[in-house]
Amino acid sequence: LSFKRSGELLGRPRITYSALNGDAEEQRRFATSVLAAFETCLPLPFSPSLGAAIAGRPFTFRFVDDRRA
């Protein structure tokens, strides 16, 4: 995903890779919770200089479900 200078998302986040455990319903709930985490946190409070530096650059976030580890 990428951000605007204002800390809002630029476009819509996509899950590009997943290796999920559990049945289809549990996998769907995990993917939904990942997307909900971004919706809850955004927009991020970027300073003007940080916003200018990262606007449009792609970021990758990794979510790990280690409850069964």
Report pLDDT for 68: 67
CB atoms within 10 A of CB 3: 22
Show the CA angle centred on residue 54, arms to residues 51 and 60, nearest 5°. 130
**Would you say 4 and 42 are in contact if contact means Cβ atoms under 8 Å apart?**
no
> Taken in order 7, 10, 11, 13, is the CA torsion positive or negative?
negative
pTM: 0.75
List of the chain residues with pLDDT < 50: none
